[in-house]
Structures are given as structure tokens and as C-alpha cells.
Structure 1
Amino acid sequence: MTTPPGPEAPVLDTHPTAAALWAATHAERAALADDLAALTDRQWATASLCARWSVEDVVAHLSAAAATGRVRWITSVARARFRPDVHNDRRLAEQRGAGPAGTLARFRTLVPSTTAPLGPVAAWLGEVVVHAQDVRRPLGLTAAPPVPVVTAVARLYAARDVAVDSRTAAAGLSLRASDGPFTAGEGPEVSGTTLALVMAMAGRGAFCDELSGPGARVLRERATRV
């Protein structure tokens, strides 16, 4: 059986519409699903860059975000007595299949979903961009989103703390992408690819070796505290 091609990522301008951001989100989900299709069970159990979670856990988490609307998400958090780990563990259990193949199949059904708990669409694009690298990097997979897609996430992360304390991480620093138009902030400069800047703002210290400039040490220290 041949898997149909996933959606193509749109070209995102400086002020992308919600529709364009959702289209990019769908394309990144599809690309990740394709990357994981040939994994062995052992690879599915590989530790991701996201604390406590395996590759399969991260995929189940992405499914939970794409399957749970605002009211149900808030209810789940409240029932967990506002303990994020309890809330996340319950949603992971809900989205995991009987094995990795089932977890991936569930994720594929949610590729075109526009359901999201809270926040701007760019935050949910960021969720896929960041978590995809959380699993690709430990697995040795080198795929990355197009620079315009990552740029949309970088702009949000530098401007707001959303699912991660990205703006806080970047405070007092001048961020400059080496592969695209993204710039933000004032202070000691940190330069690197747009993806490395996004991952560092998201607290992934593993990407800080790809950054340079007088502010890189500060961003590394903040990233590795997460």
C-alpha cells in the first residue's frame, strides 16, 4: 500500500494567516509521520530531548494536542489538580496505541486537524516543529522544516512565552538568524540557524553548540536549566 503524499508547506510571509499556519502545521505533522514510519520498536523507545518522554511518548503528546479542544483540555488540567505531569500522562495514555504502529496510525489520522487547546496557531506549529526535533535529533534524522516555517515560530517565541518560556529565555539578547530574515531583541548577539535559535528558546540545550556570539553562553545557561 502506498502512502499518499503529505500536504505541501505554504510560503509564509511576515504576517501569515491562520490558514497558512495551519497548512504548515499539517505539512510538518505529515513529514514527521513519514520520518518515523520505518522505526523499529527499539527506536520508538529511544529517549527524546523532552524530559521523561520516549519517541513514542512525544508522538502521543502531539496527538493529544491535535485531538483535544479548549474546554476538554482545561477540564483535564483541573481534574489533574493543575499538575502538568499528571495531566500529560493521562493524555499520553489516551493517545498511545497497542504498540508504536498504533500510536503512529493515530497520529496520522490527526495530521489535518485544526483542533487545539489554547493559544495562537503559531504556537501549535511550534509544538510540531520543536517536538519533531526532540525525536529526530536522538534518532539521527536530519530533516528540518523550511526556514520560513521556522521563522514564523521564532517570531512568536521571541515575542511571547507560550508553551515554553521562550521570550524569557531570549530576554536581553539580540537574536540573528544566519539562514533567514529572523532578528529580535537587543543586547549581546546570538547567531545561528533559525531552527537552532528556536530550539534554544524552547530550552533544548542540545542545539546550543550550533550558536555563536557573545550572548550564546547566556542563552545556553538558560536553555539547560529547563
Structure 2
Amino acid sequence: MSSQEPNADDVMTLAMRERGDFADFLGTLTPQQWEAPSLCDGWTVRDVIAHVISYEELGWAGTIKRFARGGFVFSKANEIGIREYSRSPQELIDLLRAHQRPRGVTAARGGMIALVDGMIHQQDIRRPLGMPREIPHDRLRTALRLALTAPPIGAPKRARGLTLVATDLDWSRGSGPEVRGPGEALLMAIAGRGHAINELSGPGQALLAERT
């Protein structure tokens, strides 16, 4: 299968579409759903969205300052951002729409962070709420490819020595024992979401489960 990477313009377009769909989805949630737990440990739906939008207005200098305040620990810097963006649901939706085109750190590598992080976090919300979606295949293929080059997500380490095969997409990657399943479940599993592991199969599934 083709290993050609999408160019930066393609990634940015896909990231913008993903953010637009994310905002549309958030507009359908009830106040109770905004306070429901997500797959991110200790984060509500509102917290996840605060995190997603919390880097857009910083620029690179502001991002470095936030990480310095957090002792250059990703989780601590993210918690600072959540506190600083404790807004109402509508305010968060409006911010996401205002920044449909990513800026600063989320625009890195042509919008890679916005696309991959945003897609994973939308699923972090949808899965616990029981609100699945059909992710457009071009976005999902691209997110899978890019996730495997994004060390902060942990996907390169989890997928090492395994062949990932998306059964609903024209996509596979890697070498070694196979792990097969829907592309969305593969993405969530390599991103560390054990919630998706039982949706996968193959001789490499147990090893991926250990790493997740």
C-alpha cells in the first residue's frame, strides 16, 4: 500500500475540516454531557475541549512559557491550559470555530497536531458518550500515518515491531505480528486508549495491549 505522505496543504485542509466537524458535534451536546467523563483520565468533556483550544492564542513564545511553568512536563502544562480556559461550552465552541485554521504549535508540520490530536480527542469524548462517528477515510488514513511519527502520543513506541492493518481502509504499516481492526480503533489503541483494544485482533494484539 502507498506510503506517500500527504503534503502540508493537504494536512491543513484535513485539520480544518476535522475542527469544523468537531465544533458541529459539540453544538449537539447537552449541559450534562459537557460535564461527563472522557477517556482522558480525570478530564470531563469540557476539560478536553479546553485543552484542545488552549494553545491556539499563545504563539510559540507563549507555549514555551507555559511549558516552563509546568516544569517542561506535558501533563502539567496541559493542566495549566485547562485551568486558563475554564469557559462555558458556547465560549469553547466559539473559540474552536474562530481557530478552525490552527495556529502556533497546533499548526506544526502543516497542521499535524491539530488533525491527529483533535481526532483522538473527539473520540475520547464520543466513545464514553456512546456517540460513534464515521470518520472520513482520507482524514483517518492521514491521522494514522502521522500518529506513527508523533512521539508525544506514544504511538511509535507502541506500534514498534507490529504490522497495523486497518480492515475498513486501504492502509497498513509496519512489520512483524499483525494487529487488525477498524482504523479508528487502531488509532485509539496506538494512542494509548485501552478502550479500543478489544476491537482489534491478530497475533500482535496481545503485545499492543501490554503496551497500552
Provide TM-score, normalisation by structure 2: 0.90
The answer as to 2:56 corresponding to 1:66 is yes
Q: Check the 8 A contact 1:70/1:117 in 2, yes or no.
A: no
Name the CA distance, whole Å, in 2 between partners of 1:84 and 1:139: 26
Count of aligned pairs between the two proteins: 209
1:114 matched residue in structure 2: 103
C-alpha spacing 1:110/1:161, structure 2 compared with 1 (3 Å): closer
Q: Check the 8 A contact 1:190/1:212 in 2, yes or no.
A: yes
Name the CA distance, whole Å, in 1 between partners of 2:112 and 2:122: 15
C-alpha spacing 1:66/1:144, structure 2 compared with 1 (3 Å): farther
Q: Check the 8 A contact 1:95/1:106 in 2, yes or no.
A: no
Name the CA distance, whole Å, in 1 between partners of 2:106 and 2:59: 5
C-alpha spacing 1:161/1:102, structure 2 compared with 1 (3 Å): closer
Runs of 4+ in 1 over 6 A off after TM superposition: none
Q: Check the 8 A contact 2:168/2:182 in 1, yes or no.
A: yes
Q: 1:126 aligns with which of 76, 98, 116?
A: 116
The answer as to 2:193 corresponding to 1:196 is no
The answer as to 2:59 corresponding to 1:81 is no
Q: For structure 1, which segment, 13-22 or 46-55, has the greater mean C-alpha deviation from structure 2 after superposition?
A: 13-22
Q: CA deviation at 1:169?
A: 0.2
Q: Check the 8 A contact 2:107/2:114 in 1, yes or no.
A: no
Q: Check the 8 A contact 1:123/1:153 in 2, yes or no.
A: no
User: Whose RCO is larger (CA < 8 A, sep 6+)?
Assistant: 2
Alignment of 1:20-169 (within 5 A): 20-97=10-87, 99-116=88-105, 119-120=108-109, 121-158=111-148, 160-169=149-158
Q: Compare the two structures and name the one with the higher helix fraction.
A: 2
Deviations 1:65-109 (A, max 9, x none): 333322211121112222333321221122231x22222222222
Deviations 1:23-76 (A, max 9, x none): 111111111111121322211011111111110111111111333322211121
* Aligned-residue RMSD, C-alpha: 1.9
Q: CA deviation at 1:221?
A: 1.9
Q: Structure 2 regions of 5+ residues with no counterpart?
A: none
C-alpha spacing 1:196/1:170, structure 2 compared with 1 (3 Å): same
Q: Check the 8 A contact 1:172/1:186 in 2, yes or no.
A: yes
Matching residue's letter, 1:157? A
Residue 105 of structure 2 aligns to a residue whose secondary structure is coil
Name the CA distance, whole Å, in 2 between partners of 1:205 and 1:103: 28
Matching residue's letter, 1:166? A
2:209 matched residue in structure 1: 220
Q: Check the 8 A contact 1:70/1:118 in 2, yes or no.
A: no
Deviations 1:200-222 (A, max 9, x none): 11001111121111111111221
Residue 54 of structure 2 aligns to a residue whose secondary structure is helix
Residue 180 of structure 2 aligns to a residue whose secondary structure is strand
Q: Check the 8 A contact 2:51/2:82 in 1, yes or no.
A: yes
Provide TM-score, normalisation by structure 1: 0.85
Q: Structure 1 regions of 5+ residues with no counterpart?
A: 1-12
Q: For structure 1, which segment, 85-94 or 117-126, has the greater mean C-alpha deviation from structure 2 after superposition?
A: 117-126
